[in-house]
Amino acid sequence: MLKDEMNVEKWKNVLRSNVWNGIMPVLKLSYRNLPPHLQRCFAYCGIFPEDWRIKPDELVYMWMAQGLLRPHEESINTRMEDIGRIYFDDLSSRSFFQMLEHHNGKYYVMHDMIHELAQSVSKEECFRIERNNVQRIPSTVRHLSINTDALLQLTSICDLKNLRTLVIFSYNHSIGSDVFKQLRSIRVLDLTRCKMEQLPKAAGELIHLRYLAFADTLKAVPPSFYRLYYLQVLDVSRSSLPILFPEGMDKLINLRVLDVPGAFTSQIARIGKLTSLQRLAVFRTSKKKGRKIVELQNMDELRGSLVITNLENVHSMQEAAEAKLNQKEYIKKLTLKWATLRRREVTMIKFSGASSRIRISKI
């Protein structure tokens, strides 16, 4: 709570206060001493069920979708994802999140008392439907999660037009067209555990949507889906592919995260329009318009690893130069693949001119 506070008098004030009569008053004091931006981000966690395994990246993107991340003047050029991770690490260092290890890796949870605190401070805006506590949801609620097998008529218990978050944590629900028509303010929609095979046409009217995760049973989306121009995160990693029409994906120009198998991204025509995209596992070059190497030209936000395949379709050094790999300052590893060696030497000269920060793996 006071780990960064150097004012002795403030330490004495806390010592003299009457909060030491139980754990919860102390935790509430810790919350009140958080900076406002961290208070808002922590309160948002009130939507999660008890003992929920929190993935930092997913939570950061939810915060970002809700407009909870604010760059300081000294970090005006810092990525929103990096600002969000700073927020998360700050809350974790103050013990609001607890890191645990599993054989599958590390994850984070909130201690039972911290989870109770999150519910307490967010009760006006966050609501969780659990077990059989189905009731009329207050009109002040903006963030709703569902973790019950009870069948619900959401339109009759909630004023859906005010919701900014809807997350389904149970597997026995399907969201109908009547619900989508009323989600006028929704920004975060997580349907990964829903039972639905087709996204309703009304989904294309969710103009404020920033974060969308598809159900693992979803198999089709309507053409109106590609009107979600402000979508930043699209997670279809659990879905049954193919569910999208790759020919329309280039319209989602604000996408930062596209979590799909690499084979799917290679089918997206004019992917170069997605200039905010952060990661692209595989780019398969082609001779066809909209799939040539030039599509990489303005994708300067790509980071991590990138695999470029079928480079025999790149016909000259000039064409290879159009990819402008020297501008991809965030890519750390580049793998180049040829189906044949006929043009390998010609294009390799130019690709070797990529940024010195990139480690090139020649295959």
Q: What is the CATH number of the domain that holds 79?
A: 1.10.10.10
Provide the whole-model pTM: 0.87
Indicate if 178 and 229 belong to the same structural domain: yes
Per-residue CA distances from 165 to 44, 173, 191, 316, 329 (Å) = 10, 16, 11, 49, 34
For residues 231 and 254, the answer to whether their CB atoms sit within 8 Å is: yes
Number of domains the chain is built from: 3
Are both 104 and 128 inside the same structural domain?
no
Q: pLDDT in tens for each of the 363 residues of the chain?
A: 555 555 656 655 655 565 556 678 888 888 998 999 999 999 999 999 999 999 999 999 999 999 999 887 666 678 999 999 999 999 999 999 999 987 777 899 999 999 999 999 999 999 998 877 677 888 999 999 998 877 678 888 888 999 999 999 887 777 888 999 999 999 999 988 888 888 889 999 999 999 999 877 777 788 899 999 999 999 887 765 555 666 788 999 999 999 887 677 878 899 999 999 999 988 999 999 999 999 999 999 999 999 999 999 998 889 989 999 888 999 999 988 888 765 554 445 445 455 555 555 555
Of 90, 116, 142, the domain-final residue: 116
The answer to whether position 266 is within a domain reads no
Q: What 3-state class would DSSP assign to 236?
A: coil
Q: Which domain holds residue 141?
A: 124-260
Distance of alpha carbon 246 from alpha carbon 264, whole angstroms: 8
Give the CATH number of the domain where residue 130 resides. 3.80.10.10
Domain end among 116, 146, 178? 116
Beta strands in 62-174 (DSSP E): 98-102, 105-109, 126-130, 143-147, 165-168
Q: At which of 260, 282, 306 does a domain end?
A: 260
Q: Considering the domain boundaries, does residue 220 fall inside one?
A: yes
Examine the domain organization and report whether 128 and 248 are in the same domain: yes
Q: Are residues 106 and 132 in the same domain?
A: no
183 is a domain residue:
yes
- Determine the residue type at 310: N
Q: Which amino acid is at 104?
A: N
Closest CA to 165 of 48, 254, 256, 278: 48
Task: Please indicate, yes or no, if residue 2 is contained in any of the structural domains.
Answer: no
**Is 201 part of a structural domain of the chain?**
yes
CA-CA distance, 38 to 36, in Å (whole number)?
A: 5
Pick left, alpha or beta for residue 249 (phi over 0 → left; psi -120 to 50 → alpha; otherwise beta): alpha
Residue 69 belongs to some domain of the structure: yes
Number of other CB atoms surrounding residue 323 within 10 Å: 25
Are residues 171 and 233 located together in one domain of the fold?
yes
In a domain, 267, yes or no: no
